[in-house]
Amino acid sequence: MDLLDTLTAKGLRGEVPTREEALAVLATTDDELLDVVAAAGKVRRRWFGRRVKLNYLVNLKSGLCPEDCSYCSQRLGSKAEILKYTWLKPDQAAEAARAGVAGGAKRVCLVASGRGPTDRDIDRVTDTMAAIKDADPAVEICVCLGLLSDNQAERLKAAGADAYNHNLNTSEGTYGDIATTHTYADRVDTVQKAHGAGLSACSGLIAGMGESDEDLVDVVFALRELGSDSVPVNFLIPFEGTPLAQEWNLTPQRCLRILAMVRFVNPDTEVRIAGGREVHLRSMQPLGLHIANSIFLGDYLTSEGQAGQADLDMIKDAGFEVEGAGEATLPRHRADVAEAAQAAGGCGTAASACGSGPCGGHANAAPAPEAVADAPPAGEPGNDELRSDLVKVRRRGAGTELAPNA
């Protein structure tokens, strides 16, 4: 098929497709799906071989957020029966992180609910990072604390953070439909603050919130323009007790098309299958590994994933290998750009995007009713196929007495 030949050729050269080509990927049929996966797989292997990077989430502070992100189980007014606790102590967080690293995670993601950190919160996270790096100096730490104020990114960088996560989540055009307590521009600003301080930028999206194909393409191109080094692709987990609990708009096939589109637009960028992997890809998860080069190990912030050992078995059975601590994730030319930006203390984004984001749009996404399309596209499940039995609230790991899942 001409489209896939073109996309493969561009991806192998590290070139970005046109917007029309990206839209065409989302419009492919189920008959074409394996060809789409195979084409995206060639691009994935060109830049990332058969490596899978494992990331491990530690929820430092859970629930009780004043923001109103409609997809989130931790939002203002959420009735989701999630764990609620305030800041973990550094040794508690380090213990949780150790479980993930022992399970093969290369990166630990420290996340706290809230609009953004106070300077005291930056102190807490500084102490937590020190405790984690004392135990394992090689571990990568990504911090996700919400909207950053001036100089907070620099303080995190000086304290040893490697990356900062803050997701754009959806297109600029529909952002006001999923949250009203902050703006899309706020989120862009924080990604740029982090990148400008020399932190690797981690920023992604949530699919399944009722958005159009055009919205998905918009946000994915925006992430490319922002210079995101890793793009987490969340599939909405419709939590009971959130405004979007009834929104089941994804099939495994749709998820694979979305992942492929993200890969083609970001051929040489880390693409991570994030929240909702088990709930929406289900038995098709291994096909996702042919497209994405990164996943979360074990549980998410407020929901449970499959057993960590099942993740490791899946990787092995599908013929992939866990990326080691000594291996570079990004291809050399991308790492050079990031290092040059860090050395200059400046932003590594495309010049056209550089100007200057509450929390990162966590990997436990649950969308506003206004954002939901009137009817699902043909072939998509819609609300008549609710699979709420697949959503399991996290009851182990950080903030509990039970061992983490890693």
Using the rule CB under 6 A, is 187 a contact of ligand SF4?
A: no
The verdict on whether 359 is a catalytic residue reads: no
Q: Quick one: which of 100, 63, 55, 82 has its CA closest to 403?
A: 100
Alpha carbon distance 181, 69 (integer Å)? 8
Using the rule CB under 6 A, is 65 a contact of ligand SF4?
A: yes
Q: What is the largest CA-CA distance in the chain?
A: 56
The verdict on whether 255 is a catalytic residue reads: no
Using the rule CB under 6 A, is 394 a contact of ligand SF4?
A: no
The verdict on whether 65 is a catalytic residue reads: yes
**Alpha-carbon torsion angle 277, 283, 289, 292, nearest 10:** -30
With contacts defined by CB under 6 A, name the span among 71-79, 150-158, 270-278, 343-351 that binds ligand SF4.
71-79
State in angstroms the smallest separation of the CB of 114 from ligand SF4: 6
Q: What DSSP string describes 120-146?
A: HHHHHHHHHHHHHHHH-TT-EEEEE-S
Alpha carbon distance 52, 56 (integer Å)? 13
Q: Of these residues, 44, 75, 98, 109, which one is catalytic?
A: 109
Sites for ligand SF4 among residues 303-362 (CB under 6 A): 358-359, 361-362
Alpha carbon distance 405, 138 (integer Å)? 21
With contacts defined by CB under 6 A, name the span among 4-12, 24-32, 66-74, 94-102 that binds ligand SF4.
66-74
DSSP state letter for 209: S
The residue (of 8 and 169) whose beta carbon lies closer to ligand SF4 is 169
The residue (of 41 and 232) whose beta carbon lies closer to ligand SF4 is 232
Out of 3, 39, 72, 97, the only residue in the binding site for ligand SF4 (CB under 6 A) is: 72
Using the rule CB under 6 A, is 267 a contact of ligand SF4?
A: no
Residues 6+ apart with CB under 8 A from 347: 192, 195, 196, 227, 341, 354
In the complex, which residues of this chain contact ligand SF4 (CB under 6 A)? Answer: 65, 67, 69, 72, 74-75, 113, 146, 358-359, 361-362
Show which residues are catalytic: 65, 69, 72, 109, 142, 202, 272
